[in-house]
Amino acid sequence: MNPIRVLIVDDSAVVREMITSVLAADPKIRVIGAAPDPIFAMERMSREWPDVIVLDIEMPRMDGLTFLRKIMSERPTPVVMCSTLSQKGAEVSLRALSYGAIACVGKPKDVRSRFREDAAGDLITQVKAAALARFRGPPRPIEPDKRPQPAVAAPGLRSLVPAVPVAKKVGRPTNQGHIIAIGASTGGTQALEAVLTRLPENAPPIVIVQHMPEYFTAAFAKRLDGLCAIEVLEARNGEEIVSGRALIAPGGKQMSVRRSGLGFAVEVMNGPYINRHRPSVDFLFRSVAANVGAKAVGIIMTGMGNDGAAGLLKIHQAGGITIGQNEISCVVYGMPKEAFRMGAVQSEVDLSRIPDEIQSFIR
């Protein structure tokens, strides 16, 4: 198999050098060039087209989002956005995902420092995932509108329309009923939107790990909360797990489920990296298996690697229900495939069917 051809586009010479060094160390990746802005990048691409583009956002002459939209309209190509770890960087990166980018990774806070081992591993993983992605190209463009919009059910579509804010109704803590635990990685932001926007306000309580950098999960949760009938929050330590609420593990933290009075709450902590991830799907799923048991529903969705497979097996062994997203609806059929291979998945379903599966547990 030929190495993955990667083009790096970033106006910082230091960042270009760091990313080139990280990617070139992997024998399955070949860096074909590093351009300081999209104009230079287009000249380089006229001679050799890359399999994957690693793209900065803020650059001279043409910004990354403009270049991304140009690429997607002319010759759709997998793009991994490399953004600063900040609120602004996170918000712009979410826009990039809606324009067709496959994934986003964070730059080191101090560009003079080297990538940490886990951050370097994440960059390599995302580039490989982008190269393997079931790439659908850019979504249908939707202009902002002040009216409420119907939920997006089809996999691969990304709604750009902010919903009209509504008062959310959440349930009371209880030790009855099911708790839904969802794990996702590459392609998961779009998949989670497709699922959560179709749930009613009385949906079962949901806890989520989506592999995302620090700062990104807060912006992601805020955006989903504006689109969904349920309440969507970036989890805080001690937050109650109740019906009508989805809690997303913060980037850079581990999240687990524990008993709290009559019900359950999340515990958010630093914790070790697991499968090179923090948050880790396995970390969440193992706690759900141990504390929720037969009332747990584990759902593993699109993503690269094996994070979550062992934890989903624990949920299955504890008497819980386990679901895997099927191959055809995954952007990357990695995590569900590994879980299925281990015997952890009781049923595989299309992304469009997952909301119905969740609603079946409403009491």
DSSP 61-91: SS-HHHHHHHHHHHS---EEEEE-SSHHHHH
Candidate list 83, 98, 159, 185, residue with the active-site label: 185
How many Å apart are CA 160 and CA 334, to the nearest integer? 27
> Hey, CA dihedral for 160, 162, 163, 169, is it positive or negative?
positive
| Helix segments in 100-187, DSSP class H | 117-132
How many Å apart are CA 297 and CA 319, to the nearest integer? 10
Under the phi-then-psi rule, with left for phi > 0, alpha for psi from -120 to 50, and beta for the rest, what region is 94?
alpha
What is the C-alpha radius of gyration for the chain, rounded to an integer number of angstroms?
Answer: 20
Hey, what amino acid is at 358? I
How many Å apart are CA 101 and CA 103, to the nearest integer? 6
Candidate list 159, 307, 316, 329, residue with the active-site label: 307
Is 26 an annotated catalytic residue? no
Q: What angle do CA 129, 212, 97 make, to 5 degrees?
A: 65
Candidate list 211, 225, 282, 329, residue with the active-site label: 211
Is 178 an annotated catalytic residue? no
Is 307 an annotated catalytic residue? yes
| Two structure tokens written together for 351 | 């992304």
How many Å apart are CA 183 and CA 210, to the nearest integer? 6
Is residue 249 within 8 Å of 283, Cβ to Cβ?
no
User: Across 160-295, where does the E strand assignment appear?
Assistant: 179-184, 206-210, 231-234, 240-241, 245-248, 254-260, 263-269
Phi then psi for residue 182, to 5 deg, are -120, 135
Q: What angle do CA 321, 255, 104 make, to 5 degrees?
A: 95
Which of the residues are catalytic?
185, 211, 307
